[in-house]
A and B are shown apart, each in its own frame.
Chain A
């Protein structure tokens, strides 16, 4: 069920400003792909283009092709003229930098939010089931099972982030995008999320943007390095390779400088 993502020659604009230029890459199913690079090089923008979330920013647009290829072979062009961005986002979930549970909802309602907000009608026991399954998958069930009716904002930062992951996987997406999911968390919570990612990759295609190179090295199968072509120039993908190679013997000099901490 986890699909493969093929990106061909993707350009991203904010108005007339070209932010990211000419990205071509493939993201393998049931694996973790990490995107690293200095601040402002467009990796988060690129990630948001994968589920068309960039469209909520006025003036943002893309040129190029993003194709989702299911395991059974069916192919969907994400930017096809007959494709609804809302459907794209149901198939491609996202976890954000800062945990953002809905403040008006309980823990339970947060997990059920994706279905409820979409107006799905489900009987109570099926919904209970789904909430428990999602919370278990996010390794949060044992910690919150006695306070499902408390506000989601009352959990700790790390728990909130796992709640957001549970919320994202409850709608049963095929791909999970994570935009620096641990940057607002302490080391122990970070470890919990990393363990969770390794479990989740059995079922999902995961793309993670991270500033933390150790994290990329720990969790990902392959790593892409984004960089700015120069001051004021658009960001671009320098190289994408298996993670081991990126960190030991990258093809590009800039990659080596970056991973060895010489800039960025």
Chain B
């Protein structure tokens, strides 16, 4: 400490004149003002040199930080100045992270809104060259394949979570926990290749099936369901299980009638979040399901269109003239984001609305 702490005065001085041992500190408004001044200066500098908004913000943040540091250093000393410097840097880090988020959302919304019309939702790409056309077939394809993936992975995921929490012991439990963790890290394209390889063994090379896509998505979805369902089931107090056992209820009935109903909201959230995670997956569907221009809703019969793959091909292989397809691609991207956000929101709502009062 550079300043010694003075002992409190012995004599009782009337309030108002009492001198507390204080150090010189900058006011909150003055530090904010300094930072703002730096920002403005940076902006002006950037404007003069003719660079974009992002660069201007960058200049400004650096200048503002320097201004705060220099003034604080001269008024408050080195330690406080360092503290303020770090505060500026940390806040800037958060600000920087917001840039791509806002930028991305703005880009997608502004470009996607152009074709966000009725036609997009009620026509497929069958026989479309140039204007018109839409993602009707792709939206339905995504719904079918994602639903099928859920049908495969929700039972497996929930039962595995139940095994891990209620039955698992010893090496098998450790092995399954480890493998679920490992599965979480499988790249989505590898999951796609696995599903392709699996079906290629039975149906020959070049196979494209909706169900193969569902299997690929399941490989990605199962570990997510397991991990989050496991957390939720662990939250059910052991006392409730014991209360049920003490009534002479067998273990499986206890799980089905007490443990699962108590945690049903959390399990619902877990499933929705897992769906949100896989609904936007493109790579595995690209290699297993492919794309088609018409509407095919039978996952056991050849290629299907899905929203992400549709968006990808419309952007990268737009044909001529390219503008129409690229507009459709951005609208598909916008719908896809909306779908993911809707699932995310649903997950949160389920968690909030259907939670039983575990208050005791």
Contact = CB atoms under 8 A, between A and B. Distances in A.
A99 B360 CA distance: 8
Nearest to A58: B169
B247 A164 contact: no
B354 to A, nearest CB: 10
A53 B250 CA distance: 12
A88 B262 CA distance: 26
A125 interface: no
A206 to B, nearest CB: 14
Contact of A114 (B247, B262, B358, B360): B247
Contacts of B11: none
Given A89-B248, A117-B253, A117-B254, A103 B357 contact: yes
B240 interface: yes
Interface string B234-261: 0001011111111111100110011001
B247 A89 contact: yes
A99 B243 CA distance: 9
Given A96-B239, A100-B237, A89 B358 contact: no
Interface string B256-274: 0110011010000000000
Interface residues of A, number: 35
B253 A168 contact: no
Contacts, number: 91
B187 interface: no
Contacts of A116: 257
Chain B's interface: helix, strand, loop or mixed, by majority?
A: helix
A159 B360 CA distance: 11
Interface in A70-100: 86-91, 93-94, 96, 98-100
B359 interface: yes
Contacts of B240: 100, 102-103
The 4 A-B residue pairs whose C-beta atoms are closest, nearest first, are A90-B248, A94-B246, A114-B247, A89-B248
15 contacts: A51-B246, A53-B246, A89-B245, A96-B242, A100-B240, A102-B243, A102-B262, A103-B360, A104-B356, A114-B249, A118-B253, A153-B360, A164-B243, A171-B248, A173-B248
Given A89-B248, A104-B261, 12 more contacts: A53-B245, A53-B246, A56-B245, A86-B249, A98-B239, A100-B240, A102-B262, A103-B240, A104-B262, A113-B244, A119-B253, A153-B358
